[in-house]
Structure 1
Amino acid sequence: MPATSLADWLRSVSDDALAALLRSRRDLATPPPSDTTVLATRAGAPGSVSRACENLDTFALAVLDALVLAGADTEAVTLDDIAGLVGAPVRAAVDLLRERAIAWGDDENLRVLPAAKEVAGSYPAGLGAPSAALDGADVAALIAETGEDERALLNTLAAGPPIGRTRDAATTLPLDQAVTPVQRLLARGLLTRRDGGTVELPRQAGIALRGGHAFSEETLVEPELPLNPHQPSTVDQTAAGEALEFVRVLETLLTAWSRTPPPVLKAGGLGVRELRKLARDLDVDETRAILLAELAVGSGLVADSQTTSPEWVPTTLTDSWLASAPAQRWITVAQAWLDLPRLPGLAGQRDAKDRPLAPLAEDLRRPLAPATRRRVLRTLADLPRGCGVKSPDELVRVLAWRAPRRGGRLRDEIVRWTMAEATAVGMVALGALTTAAGALLEDDRATALSEMGDALPKPVDQVLVQADLTVVAPGPLEAELAAEIQAVADIESAGHATVYRVTETSVRRALDTGRTAGELHELFSTRSATPVPQSLTYLIDDVARRHGRLRGGVAGCFLRCDDEVLVAEVLAHAGAGDLELRKIAPTVLISPLPLAEVLDGLRAAGFAPAAEGPDGTVFDLRPSGRRVPARARPARRVVTPEPGFAPEQLTAVLAHLRAGDKAAGSRRGAAVRLPGGGGADTSSTLALLTKATLERRQVWIGFVDSHGTATQRVVTPVRVGGGVVEGSDQERYPLHRITSAALVEDDI
C-alpha cells in the first residue's frame, strides 16, 4: 500500500536513506527531531525546501517544475507522466529529489511537497495556467492556422514568461472582426485575457510551441565549456609573474600608508578621495586598488588604529612580511584572499538606500564568499591539468546551469569577480588554475609554497646601468641588491623588468643614510653587467662633493660648516628668516625649528646639507613609518564544499528519531503526570517506574531534553534511584525532566 504522507514514507525507508537525507539537508537535524512526524514537518517548511533546492542543477529543477505542473502537490502522479512532460529520462533526477525528501513515493505514486509550488514560482517552467477552452482541442492545428506576426508573438511568450502587457486586451472580438495579432489570438483561444491590459499564453499552447514538452531541449543540457590547453609550466610561470607584481604593488601600498595613513571614514571604510590617491600612487586602476586594500587588511598587514582619529595603519606583521621571501609573501596574500569573508567587487556599487559602498566597510562582508570562491576554483581544478576556460562568461553559464538558485542576484557577477581577482593574485593564469593554487585549495600550504617558489623567476644579482642614468633590473633582484638599488635610485617603471632612475635627489638620499661615494661606485662597478657610464660617476662625485659640507645637529637644531663663506651665504639667503637661523659662531648657525624641517628648507633653497649624529657621523632622518599592534585573528576554519555529519553524530540522530517513532506508536495505559507538567518527583511516578523495573516492563515517558524540546521515549527501566531512571539501552533520564509516564500495554 503506498504511503499516504511524507511522514509515513520516511518511516518506511531505510536508515541509510534517512542518513542521506540528513547529510543533504543539515537543517533538518538541528536540533535532532523527536520523531519522523517532526522530521517531515521540518522537511516541508518552505524555507527548508528552498535551501534544499539551491544545490540542484537546471535539469533537476526542471523535473521539480514538471511535478508541480502535473499536480503532484495535490495528487499522486507516475514517473512516466513526468518523463513525458520533460521529454527525457528523469529517474536519476527523481531519485535525487526523493533522497532530499522534496518528492516522495514510488514510481507509480509520486508526490511532491506543497512548498515546492512556492519554489517553482508563479509560472513553473515558464508556462502559464491551463485554459479550459483548450481542453480536448487540437492546439497544434490552431497554431498552424496563425499568421507570421501571430506566430512571432506566440514564440516570444512561449520562451517565458507567458505574460504580456498590451492595450489590445481591453476587449475580446470575434475572429472576423479582430484586427491586431493579439485580438486574433484571443479570438482563437491561444491567448487568455487576465485583465484590461494583460494577456497570458495558456499552458497547452506553450507546451505545443515547445514541441510537445514543457521544456526546450537545449535548456536541459549543460552548456559546453570550451577550453584552451596550455603547458602547466606556462600557466604556473605566467601566474608567478602576476603574483610577483601583485606582491610588489602591495609592498608599495604598505610603504605609502606607513608614511601617510589614510583616515577611516566615520561609517567605516576608505574614502573616495583616498582610494583615488591610492590608485594614482600605485599606478593601478581603482578595482585593483580596492583588492589590494582589502587584502592588506584581510591578511592582517593593515588595521584600523582605533584612536580618536582612526587611520588605516600597517601592523607589526608588516615588517616580518616585508622580510620574507617572495613565495612566502604570496602565500600569505593568497590564503587571505581565499578565506576573505568579503566581496571586494561590491565596492563602488550602491546599497538599498542608494548610498555607495566603500572599500573596507562592513557592508562588503559576506560570510559565504569563501565557499563561493572555492566553488569557482574547484570547477577549474576539475579540468585537465593546464587547461583553461576561454572566457569567464562561458564559465558563468556552466555554473549557472549547475546551480541556478545559488548566489542570488550577484550569482554571475561573483564568478566574474572571482576569476578577475584570482588572476590578479596569481592563482589563475590563462583561464587555468595553477599548481600552487590547487595545492592551496586542498589546504596543502607546504606544497603551494614549494610550487610557487619553483615557478617564480629566479632572483638576479646584476643590473644593467645605461648612459641615460637608468638602471634596468632584468628580473627580481636579490633582496640585498634590491635594497641597495632602491636606496640610490627611484623606480621609474615596474614589471617583470624594473627600470630605476638615478638622480641627484636619489644619490643624496643614499648619502643621507650614511653610504659614501666610494660605496656607491663599488655598488655599480661590481653589480652592473654593463660598463658604468661616466655620467653616473660624475653625478655621484658631484653630489658627494657638496653633500655634508653643511652639517646640522639637534639643539633646537644647529648647522655647522668649516667654510665661513658658505655659512654667510646661507644666512644671507631669503629663506633664512623663515627658518629662524642665527649665527652663534663663525662656522655655526642654530634654529629653534626641528632639524628635519630646517634641512628640508635648505634643500629647497638649493643647498645640500646632511644630518649629523652625536658622534659626528651622517645619519638618515627620514621616518621609518608608523606601526600599530597586529590584531588577534580567529583560527582559520578550513572551508569544505559540503560539510557533513560525523558518523557518530548521524548514528545518534537516527537512534533518537527511531526511538521517538517507537514511543509515538506505543499503546499506553493510564498515564501518571507530574504536578505542573514536570519538575517535581511524586510517589505515584516512582511507584510506576519501580513496578516496571521489577516486572521488566516497558514504560512510555514524556520528558524535556537538554535542548528544551519536549519528546517521548519507550524505555525498559533497569534501575531507579539517585534522581535518575536508567534504561536497558544504557540511557539515563533525570527524573526532574520527566513530565509524564505510562506503562506500555502488552498487546501492542
Structure 2
Amino acid sequence: MPAPSLADWLRQESDDALAALLRTRRDLSTPPPSDTIVLATRAGTPGSVARACEDLDTFTLAVLDALLLAGADTEPVASAEVAKLVGKKIGEPLALLRKRALVWGEDDALRVPPSARDALGPFPAGLGSSSPSLAGTDIEAALAEVGEDERAVLTTLAAGPPIGRTRDAAADIPLERAQNPVQRLLARGLLLRRDDQTVELPREIGIALRGGSVFDPASLREPELPTHPHQSSTVDTTAAGEAMEFLRQTESMLRAWSETPPPVLKSGGLGVRELKKLAKDLDVDETRVTLLAEIAVGAGLVADSEATAPEWVPTTLTDSWLASPTAQRWMTIAQAWLELPRLPGLAGGRDAKDKPIAPLSEDLRRPLAPTSRRRILLALAALPEGAGVKSTDELVAALAWRAPRRGGRLRDETVRWTMAEGAALGLIGLGGLTTATRALLAEDRPGAVEAMIDALPRPVDHVLVQADLTVVAPGPLEAGLAAEMTAVADIESSGHATVYRITETSVRRALDTGRTAGELQQLFSTKSATPVPQSLSYLIDDVARRHGRLRGGAAESFLRCDDASLLAEVMGSPVATEYGLRMIAPTVLISAYPLAEVLDALRAAGFAPAAEGPDGRVMDIRPSGRRLPAKARSARRAPGEPAGLTDDQVGKIVAHVRAGDAASARRRGETVRAPQGGGSGDTSATLALLSQATIERREVWIGFVDSRGTASQRVVRPLRVGGGVLEGTDNERYPLHRITSAALVED
C-alpha cells in the first residue's frame, strides 16, 4: 500500500491533533484553510517549514536531517533506518515532528515535505551526496594513503558544508601529474568535481572522517548549564543596587538634556560628540550612555522635537517620572526595555555600507528583539530561585543548542547583550533573575513593584557632614532630604553611599531658590549624624550676608538696592552698557532685557544678585528645562509575544477544515451556481434547492463568501429558509446573496 500524502494523514488525525498543529504553527491558520488539502499544501511550503523549525532543538533537527539523508522527502523510510543514522532512540523528537506535520506516516513509512530540503539547506547534517563509485571501496585504507595536507582538506569539508571553491578543479588530472592536494584527492576519487571551481566531499568519506557516525554523539546532548546557588534576597539586593545607579544616571541625563538638548543627526540618531560628552559628564562608558538614551526614548521620557533643527528633548512624562517613587521609576524603564524593538548593543558597530551605527538611529531597530529578550529571561526563570548562571558563554551555548535556527547571525550576541543590559537595569543579579523580574515576566506588575520595594535599601533620614565640606549619604535618602541636599550641594561621587560637595556656588544656588541661611543651618544641624563643622556655618553665613543685597524684578526687569554705592559700582561695570541699565531712582535700576539674563551677567561680573517676587521674597527663576508633549503609548501586552489563537478560534478553524473535507467527499449531483451581478432572479435556483433540502431534511453543500470577502465551503443541514437567510442546525445564519453555489450531498 502506498504511503499516504500529508493531506490524507491530516484528514485522519483527530480534531485535537489539528488544533495542536494550528497552535504550534500559527501561520497555517491565516486565512483559515478551506480543507486539509489546502492545510497540507500550506504546511509544505519552504517558508512555513523554516518557521516551524525555528524553535526545534539540535537533537530534533538532527532527526529531521537524518530523514532527509535517508531520502524521506522522495519515498517512505523506516524509523529504524533513521535511528541508525542518528545513533540513538528517536521516539520523542519524532513525536514532536509529527505534531508539527514536519513528519507523517507510520514508523515503517515515514515521510517529510519535499520542501524541507529547501528550508534546511541542500546538505543535511553537513554531508554531501553519496558517490556510487565508492561502493565496495575500503575507505579507511584509502584515507590511510593520503598525506597530511590532503587530510586537512578532507577534515575541513567533513565538518560541513561539504563543498569548496577552488581553481584546481578545472580539469581531470591523473594522480601522477597532480600538483596539489585537491588535484590528488580528485584523482583518488575522494573528492567529487561539480564544476570548474567547485568540489564536493562524498557522503561516505565525510562519515568515515567523523568516526563512522553521522552526528557527534556529544552534539546531540544539551550542554550543561552550571549555576551558582544564591539566596534570593542576595540576588534581589545586588540587582537593586544596580537599578538605583541606573536610575540616578537616567535622572542626570534627563536634567542635562532639559538644559541643553542634543541635536538629532541628519540621518537620525545621536552624534558621537554628544555621546562622548554625556559619557564624560556621567563618568560612564559609551555603551551605558547608549542604553540610557535608548531606554529613555523607548519609555517616552525623551522624543525627537521634529523641528526645523530637531533635538532630543525630554517630554512631559519626565516630570512625573522624576517625582515617582524609586520602585515605580524602575518599573517604567524595565517595562520599556522588555518591549524595546531595538538592539542597543548594535550601536558603535558598522552597517552593511561600513558606516558607523549611531545610537537612537533606525539601524538599531529589530522588531523581534522583545521576543529574543523574553526567551533569554525565561531560560533564567526556569532555574531555581536564587540560582545564577556561572558564565554567560555557557548560557549562550545552552540556548544555541535549544534553538540553533533561531535568532540569525546575532543570536549569540543578543544573549550577551541581554545579560549585560539586564544586569545594568537591575533585572538580573549575580547571573539570575530577581523576584521582581519573575513577577514582571508573569505580568504581575503590582507584585514586581512590591518585590522591588522590598529589595531596595531603606531610605535614611540623616547624612554625615565632614570637616572638608563633604556630606556623605550612607544610603538612599528620603525624598525630602534628597531634594534638600541636591539644592545645597553637588554630587561628587555616587554608589551605595553618595558623597556631596558643598561650595560657595552650591550654597548661593540654594539661597536663589528662596531658602534662608537659617533654614540651611537648621537642615544640617538636624539631619547630620556628625557635628556640623564650623567652616560650613561660616560659609553659609558669609554667602548669605552677600546674597540678595542686590535684587532684581521684572519691569521688563529692574534692580534695586539700598546701598547707593553698590548701584554706582554696577553702573560703572560693562554690564550696565551691555544690558542698557538705567537708574530711575537712587536705589532702582531698570533694563529692557529679561531678568534672568541680567542676573546671569551680574553674577559673571562678580556680583551676587537675587531675584524677588511681587511680595519682595527671594524666588527661583531658573528655567526647569524644555519639554515636549508626551506621545500616547499603545496598550501593553506580553513583551514580544504575538497574539495566540484562542480555543474558540482554533475550534472554528478545525470545524471549517472538517466541513471542507466533508463537502469535497460527499457532494453529489448538479451544482447550482449563482450568476454574477446580483438581482432577485439570481438566487431563485439556489432558493429552490435549499427549500428542497429543508423539506427532505437533507444536508447541502454551499460555497459561501463572508463579510471579509473570504471564500469557503460548508456542509449545512437547513433548518429553515426565508427572509433572504438560510438558517442551519449549527445555529449559523447564511445570507442568500453570499451563497455562491449549492449542491445536495449524500445522506
Fold conserved (TM > 0.5)?
A: yes
The corresponding residue for 1:634 is: 634
1:704 and 2:688 matched: no
What one-letter code is carried by the residue in structure 2 that aligns with 1:242?
E
Query: 1: CA distance between counterparts of 2:713 and 2:446?
Result: 52
Deviations 1:238-278 (A, max 9, x none): 10000011111111122122222233344443333333333
Q: CA RMSD in A?
A: 2.2
Deviates more, 1:72-81 or 1:149-158: 149-158
Q: Are the counterparts in 2 of residues 84 and 213 from structure 1 also a CA contact under 8 Å?
A: no
Deviates more, 1:449-458 or 1:687-696: 687-696
1:195 and 2:202 matched: no
**Structure 1 spans left out of the alignment, 5+ residues:** none
Query: 1: CA distance between counterparts of 2:722 and 2:614?
Result: 85
Residues 231-630 of structure 1 aligned to structure 2 (within 5 Å): 231-630=231-630
Query: 2: CA distance between counterparts of 1:155 and 1:167?
Result: 19
Query: 1: CA distance between counterparts of 2:535 and 2:278?
Result: 35
How many residues are paired up?
Answer: 746
The corresponding residue for 2:686 is: 685
Offset of 1:697 from its aligned partner?
Answer: 2.6
What one-letter code is carried by the residue in structure 2 that aligns with 1:700?
W
Offset of 1:601 from its aligned partner?
Answer: 1.7
1:123 and 2:131 matched: no
Offset of 1:179 from its aligned partner?
Answer: 5.0
Matched position secondary structure for 1:665: helix
Offset of 1:745 from its aligned partner?
Answer: 4.7
Offset of 1:81 from its aligned partner?
Answer: 1.1
TM-score (norm 2): 0.95
Q: Are the counterparts in 1 of residues 422 and 428 from structure 2 also a CA contact under 8 Å?
A: yes
Matched position secondary structure for 1:714: strand
What one-letter code is carried by the residue in structure 1 that aligns with 2:502?
V
Deviates more, 1:670-679 or 1:134-143: 670-679
Offset of 1:17 from its aligned partner?
Answer: 1.5
Q: Are the counterparts in 2 of residues 581 and 589 from structure 1 also a CA contact under 8 Å?
A: yes
Query: 1: CA distance between counterparts of 2:133 and 2:317?
Result: 75
Deviates more, 1:654-663 or 1:360-369: 360-369
Offset of 1:677 from its aligned partner?
Answer: 8.8
Deviates more, 1:286-295 or 1:505-514: 286-295
What one-letter code is carried by the residue in structure 2 that aligns with 1:695?
E
Deviations 1:632-651 (A, max 9, x none): 21111124868543222222
Matched position secondary structure for 2:264: coil
The corresponding residue for 1:9 is: 9
Query: 1: CA distance between counterparts of 2:691 and 2:554?
Result: 94
**Structure 2 spans left out of the alignment, 5+ residues:** none
Deviations 1:639-678 (A, max 9, x none): 4868543222222111111111111012511222222397
Offset of 1:199 from its aligned partner?
Answer: 2.4
Query: 1: CA distance between counterparts of 2:261 and 2:655?
Result: 59
Offset of 1:10 from its aligned partner?
Answer: 0.9
Matched position secondary structure for 2:199: strand
Matched position secondary structure for 1:558: strand
Matched position secondary structure for 1:194: strand
Deviates more, 1:407-416 or 1:354-363: 354-363
Q: Are the counterparts in 2 of residues 3 and 9 from structure 1 also a CA contact under 8 Å?
A: no
The corresponding residue for 1:87 is: 87
Query: 2: CA distance between counterparts of 1:222 and 1:656?
Result: 40
Matched position secondary structure for 2:666: coil
1:226 and 2:226 matched: yes
Deviates more, 1:360-369 or 1:121-130: 360-369
Query: 2: CA distance between counterparts of 1:465 and 1:215?
Result: 68
Query: 2: CA distance between counterparts of 1:177 and 1:383?
Result: 62
Deviations 1:293-313 (A, max 9, x none): 222222222233444544333
Query: 1: CA distance between counterparts of 2:479 and 2:675?
Result: 80
Change (3 A) 1:707 1:603: closer
1:57 and 2:57 matched: yes
1:103 and 2:106 matched: no
Q: Are the counterparts in 2 of residues 60 and 93 from structure 1 also a CA contact under 8 Å?
A: yes
What one-letter code is carried by the residue in structure 1 that aligns with 2:120?
A
Matched position secondary structure for 1:193: strand
The corresponding residue for 1:212 is: 212
Q: Are the counterparts in 1 of residues 104 and 110 from structure 2 also a CA contact under 8 Å?
A: yes
What one-letter code is carried by the residue in structure 2 that aligns with 1:733?
Y
Matched position secondary structure for 1:111: coil
What one-letter code is carried by the residue in structure 2 that aligns with 1:697?
R
1:25 and 2:25 matched: yes
Change (3 A) 1:597 1:699: closer
Matched position secondary structure for 1:67: helix
What one-letter code is carried by the residue in structure 2 that aligns with 1:228?
H
What one-letter code is carried by the residue in structure 1 that aligns with 2:282?
L
Deviates more, 1:167-176 or 1:622-631: 167-176
Offset of 1:597 from its aligned partner?
Answer: 1.7
Offset of 1:393 from its aligned partner?
Answer: 1.9
Deviates more, 1:316-325 or 1:512-521: 316-325
Q: Are the counterparts in 1 of residues 3 and 76 from structure 2 also a CA contact under 8 Å?
A: no
Change (3 A) 1:710 1:525: closer
Query: 2: CA distance between counterparts of 1:564 and 1:676?
Result: 99
Offset of 1:155 from its aligned partner?
Answer: 1.7
Deviations 1:470-497 (A, max 9, x none): 1111111111111111111111112111
Change (3 A) 1:618 1:700: closer
What one-letter code is carried by the residue in structure 2 that aligns with 1:44?
G
